[in-house]
Amino acid sequence: MKGVRAVFRKEFRSYLQSSMGYIYLVVFLVLANWLFLRGFFIVNQLSFRSFFLLMPWLFLLFIPAITMRIWAEERKLGTIEILFTLPLKESQVLIGKFLASLAFLGISLLLTLPLPITGAFLGSPDVGQIVGGYLGALFLGAAYISIGTFASSLTDSQIVAFILGAIICFALFLVGENFVLVTLPPSIASVFRYLGLGSHFDSIARGVIDSRDVIYYLSVIWFFLYLSLRVVEDKR
Amino acid sequence: MIEVNDLVKTYGQVRALDGVSFSIRKGEIIGFLGPNGAGKTTTMRIITGYLRPDGGNAVVAGYDVASYPIEVKRRIGYLPEDNPLYMDMQVREYLEFIGEARGLEGSELKESMDRVSEIAGISGVLKRPVGELSRGYRQRVGLAQALLHDPDILILDEPTSGLDPSQIVEIRGLIKELGREKTVVVSTHILPEVSATSSRVIIINKGRIVAEGTIEELERKAEKGETLYAVFRDGRADLERELSSLDFVEDFQLVSVDGDEFKFAIKPRGDEDIREKLFDFAVEHNFKLLEIWRERATLEEVFLQLTTEE
């Protein structure tokens, strides 16, 4: 646990210390607010549904950007050798890194809170939907983070890691979307629907927390984190 | 303290280590010597648990590295090749991270940081980002990192590469100092480094150990061994006849003639010091012995001999 904490602190600090971290935050917040508010006054209805439906798309750029450095940078700098000659298990290092990215994501989500809070002053939004939306965003984000971490383990170039991460996230998000599903025979379509990142997000974001969705996200997270660990070990 | 048995490591088609075995006792300072690409770094990475060998094993402080990597890593302080560092971290933050990862906390961590900052001479730069430091200072930070948990074993991979001469002298002094209490393995391809710091040398070439021993042993072992030079005046013919009849001379050769002075290179039989005998011989036969001196193969020659032989 102490090992995880040490890695977590180092990683988390590096997000807040580099100017990149702040740039990501600002871009994320500006985009999220602007895209939401653009439609807000047109619809003339107090619903945050459209706000949360933006998240999968925003995350597609934002999360690979925060995860691209996770392994690629260590490898490029050679510090991976320091990291893996410390008396830590590989899994401790990985979990520390994952949690730090998750915490950074959590902060960026917290910083979008002024929107629903303002909404609460203006009218009476559906609180259950908002809570569900944030929860869904956190699960979806965590899944993206694990995919991004995996992408970062494949290369020592951060740019490649970013693009790779975005592509895998996009692909996994897309396979569950309706416009893909309608082209498939029904038997395969149901499998794809389950595999897609998006459909599970939709149901949580609607405020329905189903254990199947939670299990799905946890499996995706575990799967890609495990894969990245294998890759990191093999690549030494 | 460190035992390495029959290590084999292959990268693709290239066999980096081909049956490397050696053992290092507690308290030794070992110079791990070899040309670039000989397998020094690979060997060190296996000992520190960073790499897994394809064959053979390493045992550190009684723990098999493959089975008990954490125990081994606790006992080793390691400065990897090229001293990798997190450039955007402050020195203090970096040491804090290393300390925390090594299980140091609170006042213990603070004391350890003070201690290594003192030893490595980085107390003045603790608040600076690593990326802004000069190469010499970065190297000290790397050393401080390796010393933080006060390990019994120090493994330093080319600790002086890229430093200027005065920095090199400094780091060597530091290594020697540390070697009083710790078992130290220093890899290098620079020879003076070894003579300056090590008590014993292991020479590796093309993935194999080609020689080991103290510097003296190695110098003596070299093919050339010890050669005696002697300068005589006059009586060349008699001298050559008499020299060839001596039982303590294996071989001799006239090296140069300078007027009536003759310089001979004499190879003694065995390891014996024959200077005195040669003097007595000259007195007995009335030869005019002007000069006499010994020359040994230098470590450099030994090294070249061992690493260029096919």
Q: Which of A6, A201, A138, A101 is nearest to B96 (CA)?
A: A6
Range of the domain at A177: 2-235
CB A102 within 8 A of CB A94: no
| Smallest Cα distance from A82 to chain B, Å | 7
The whole-angstrom separation of Cα A39 and Cα A170 is: 24
The residues, any chain, with a CB within 8 Å of residue B97's CB and separated by 6 or more, are A6, A9, A10, B89
ipTM of the prediction: 0.86
pLDDT at B224 over 60: no
| Interchain contact B132–A (C-beta under 8 A) | no
* Secondary structure of residue B266 in the 3-state scheme: strand
pLDDT tens per residue across span B46-63: 999 999 999 889 999 999
* Secondary structure of residue B293 in the 3-state scheme: strand
Residue ranges of the alpha helices (H) in chain A?
2-17, 19-43, 49-67, 69-77, 80-83, 90-110, 114-122, 127-153, 158-174, 178-181, 186-195, 197-205, 211-235
The superfamily (CATH) of domain B2-213 is P-loop containing nucleotide triphosphate hydrolases (3.40.50.300)
State how far Cα B24 lies from the chain centre.
Answer: 13
Q: Which of A94, A66, A57 is nearest to A169 (CA)?
A: A57
- Torsion A131-A173-A224-A107 (CA) sign: negative
- Answer whether A81 sits within 8 Å of B45, measured CB to CB: yes
Q: Which of A213, A67, A211, A208 is nearest to A133 (CA)?
A: A208
Tokens describing residue B118? 């003192």
B91 or A199, which is more confident: B91
pLDDT tens per residue across span B144-153: 999 999 999 9
pLDDT of residue B174: 85
- Tell me the residue type at B168: I
DSSP B27-80: T-EEEEE--TTSSHHHHHHHHTTSS--SEEEEEETTEETTT-HHHHHHHEEEE-
- Answer whether A82 sits within 8 Å of B84, measured CB to CB: yes
pLDDT of residue A204: 82
Confidence of residue B73 (pLDDT cuts 50, 70, 90): very high
- Answer whether A85 sits within 8 Å of B88, measured CB to CB: no
- Answer whether A6 sits within 8 Å of B85, measured CB to CB: no
Helices and strands (H, E) in chain B, number of each type? 11, 14
- Using CB atoms, pick whichever of B49, B78, B86 lies closest to residue A79: B86
pLDDT of residue B309: 60
The whole-angstrom separation of Cα B192 and Cα A232 is: 38
- Answer whether A79 sits within 8 Å of B45, measured CB to CB: no
State how far Cα A212 lies from the chain centre.
Answer: 19
Mean pLDDT per 10-residue interval, chain A, length 236 residues: 90 86 89 81 72 87 92 92 93 94 94 86 81 90 95 93 94 83 81 82 80 90 94 84
For B97, which DSSP code? H
The domains of chain B are located at 2-213, 226-302
State how far Cα B283 lies from the chain centre.
Answer: 43
pLDDT of residue B75: 93
The whole-angstrom separation of Cα B308 and Cα B266 is: 26
| Interchain contact A81–B (C-beta under 8 A) | yes
- Using CB atoms, pick whichever of B88, B102, B145 lies closest to residue A14: B88
**Which range among A183-197, B150-164, B295-309 shows the weakest confidence by mean pLDDT?**
B295-309
* Secondary structure of residue A193 in the 3-state scheme: helix
Question: Phi and psi for B263 in degrees, rounded to 5?
Answer: -105, 125
pLDDT of residue A47: 73
Total structural domains within chain A: 1
pLDDT of residue B223: 56
Tokens describing residue B98? 């290393």
- Answer whether B101 sits within 8 Å of A77, measured CB to CB: no
Tokens describing residue B297? 């193969």
pLDDT tens per residue across span B178-221: 888 899 999 987 777 777 778 888 988 888 888 888 877 777 76
**Residues of A (82-101) whose Cβ lies below 8 Å from B:** 82, 84-89
Question: Phi and psi for B82 in degrees, rounded to 5?
Answer: 65, 10
Helix (H) / strand (E) element for B277: namely helix B275-284
CB A50 within 8 A of CB A128: no
Question: Phi and psi for B134 in degrees, rounded to 5?
Answer: -75, 165
The whole-angstrom separation of Cα A45 and Cα A51 is: 13
pLDDT of residue A44: 65
- Using CB atoms, pick whichever of A2, A10, A85 lies closest to residue B103: A2
| Interchain contact A17–B (C-beta under 8 A) | yes
Chain B neighbors of A81, CB-CB under 8 A:
45, 50, 80, 84
- Answer whether A86 sits within 8 Å of B49, measured CB to CB: no
Domain B226-302 class, CATH top level: alpha beta
pLDDT tens per residue across span B28-49: 899 888 888 888 899 999 999 9
- Answer whether A10 sits within 8 Å of B78, measured CB to CB: no
pLDDT of residue B115: 92
| Interchain contact A18–B (C-beta under 8 A) | yes
State how far Cα B8 lies from the chain centre.
Answer: 22
Q: Using CB atoms within 10 Å of the CB of residue B127, give its burial: 0 to 12 exposed, 13 to 18 middle, 19+ buried.
A: exposed
Whether this model's pTM surpasses 0.90: no
